[in-house]
Amino acid sequence: MKLYPLKFAPIYKYRIWGGEKLKTELNKNYSEENIGESWEISDVSGDETVVAGGDLEGKSLRDLTNEFKGDFVGNAVYEKFGEEFPLLIKFIDAKTPLSIQVHPNNEVAKERHNSFGKNEMWYVMQADKDAELIVGFDEKIDAEGYKTHLANNTILEVMHHEIVNKGDTFYIPTGRVHAIGAGVLLAEIQQTSNITYRIYDYDRVDAKTGEKRELHSDMAMDVLDYEVHSNYKTEYDLEKNVSNKLVYSPYFRTNILDINTTIDKDYSEIDSFVIYMCVEGSVDLISKGKTYTINTGETLLLPAAIKTIQLKAANAKVLEVYY
């Protein structure tokens, strides 16, 4: 059985803050209410996405890595991670704000939860007027100040609030406090991890459980980066029909392509799978004479063994992600 460009069946997640934009803006197909996340490519235990379409339909990421090894993920990736797929790919719709939260690094996550840490990035696909993200601190505090602000319900006052627009990009390293504000639809690329420390949740009660959600304020205290940084947003170029560098980290590399013609891509220098997230328009990926279409809000994985493809679009923006 041969590898080919793969789409996966998304897993939809109820969230207390979820809305309808995954359906109305990204044409996702589900009937539940308050769906906040579409997990596009996931190897999280119990939430493994499976291939949709073709000879490999129904196989999970773990199945594919087990069967094809380096041909699927790349030899270097396979040597480092074995059968654990290193990235989790999502679209997120926040109708109301997410909790104020932070993620632990690899070392703490391994020790406390036997998990990877959670470095992540956001690319804003749509934002309502004056919608904002909270990223990092605007005022220098320490662990004692953190505890005082939590006790006084004033933690939001020392955080950096940024009004966002389509195309805005943020890298969220572990330790950086953050939250997606109401009215933001975004693409999220992260390490395969589901470890989140909630610091503050607006005293909300979850309608499904009738309870407030658990907070992890103490666990968060010793992983937080209390430093104030001069800029939290990622600046980038947007030249047509080339891979423009967006976020390069030790955990993933992401480019953005703004395509209005046919372009040839050669990945022989990259020892990794490549993931495409279509964030605007529609793009055709042509591999071995066959065309695979990716529309806004769709994701496709190119196995590492496939080195040359064409991308064709009249007007599309695509995130290009690899290890």
Which amino acid does the sequence have at 162?
E
Q: What angle do CA 156, 162, 163 make, to 5 degrees?
A: 120
With a CB cutoff of 8 Å and minimum separation 6, the contacts of 257 are 241, 242, 243, 244, 263, 311, 317, 318, 320
Measured CA to CA in angstroms, residue 45 lies from 42, 49, 62, 194 at distances of: 9, 10, 10, 9
User: Binding site membership for Zn(2+): which residues?
Assistant: 103, 120, 178
C-beta pairs of 249-253 under 8 Å, 24+ apart in sequence: 249/119, 249/121, 249/171, 249/173, 250/119, 251/86, 251/87, 251/119, 251/191, 251/323, 252/86, 252/87, 252/119, 252/121, 252/189, 252/191, 252/321, 252/322, 252/323, 253/321, 253/322, 253/323
The 10 Å Cβ neighbour count of residue 298 is: 22
Query: Can 198 be counted among the known catalytic residues?
Result: yes
Report the alpha-carbon distance of residue 33 to residue 16 in Å, rounded. 10
User: Binding site membership: which residues?
Assistant: 103, 120, 178
Please tell me which residue in 176, 198, 204, 253 is annotated as part of the active site: 198
Report the alpha-carbon distance of residue 110 to residue 99 in Å, rounded. 23
From the list 53, 55, 112, 119, the residue with the least C-alpha distance to 251 is: 119
Residue 87, Cβ density class (10 Å: 0-12 exposed, 13-18 middle, ≥19 buried): buried
Q: CA torsion 35→124→306→282, rounded to 10°?
A: 80
What's the DSSP call for residue 60? B
Residues carrying an active site annotation: 198
